[in-house]
Amino acid sequence: MLSGRPLLERAIGDRISLLWWKEAVYLLRRVMVHTRSLAGIVEIDGLKYEWQLQREPQFTADGWKGMTVSLRQIDTQRAALLEFPTPKRLLKGLPKGRSQINDAIAARGVRAALSAGWEPASRGKPMVFMVDANGD
């Protein structure tokens, strides 16, 4: 069924529309691939834990401090804070760059905190744990 526009105009418009759509999908996929997550959920032994980047590496009066990630078991009160070491690139004076955190590192951090005595179901202040760059 024709809409009243000349056939050539409709064909050009549809082609431009199709090309625009393909370009938009391509750009959206590229953007989604390069987004970094600052929070997530990992499952360890059947329990779900939320993690969130609390602080990126920063320079303080005491020198560089590494990033901090907070952990909390879903539906519990007590959190754990994972403090990572300062990246070597910052100690060398190079630009800060992006913080390297993902679900795998967070999962290793949850296991390390649990083995170090973190009890997510208990009450109290967040427990602080120093971990290596891999979350162990």
Tell me the per-residue pLDDT of 70-114, one tens digit each, with 9 for 90 and over: 999 988 889 999 998 877 766 666 666 666 788 898 999 999 999
Is pLDDT at 3 greater than 60 in this prediction? no
> Degrees (nearest 5) of the Cα angle 133, 134, 136?
105
Per-residue confidence band for 20, with pLDDT thresholds at 50, 70 and 90: low
Confidence (pTM): 0.67
The DSSP call for residue 122 is: S
The residue among 54 and 29 whose pLDDT is bigger is 54
Half-sphere exposure of 96 (CA within 13 A, CB side): 10
- pLDDT per position as a tens digit, 27-38: 666 655 555 678
Give the position of tokens 């910052």. Answer: 90
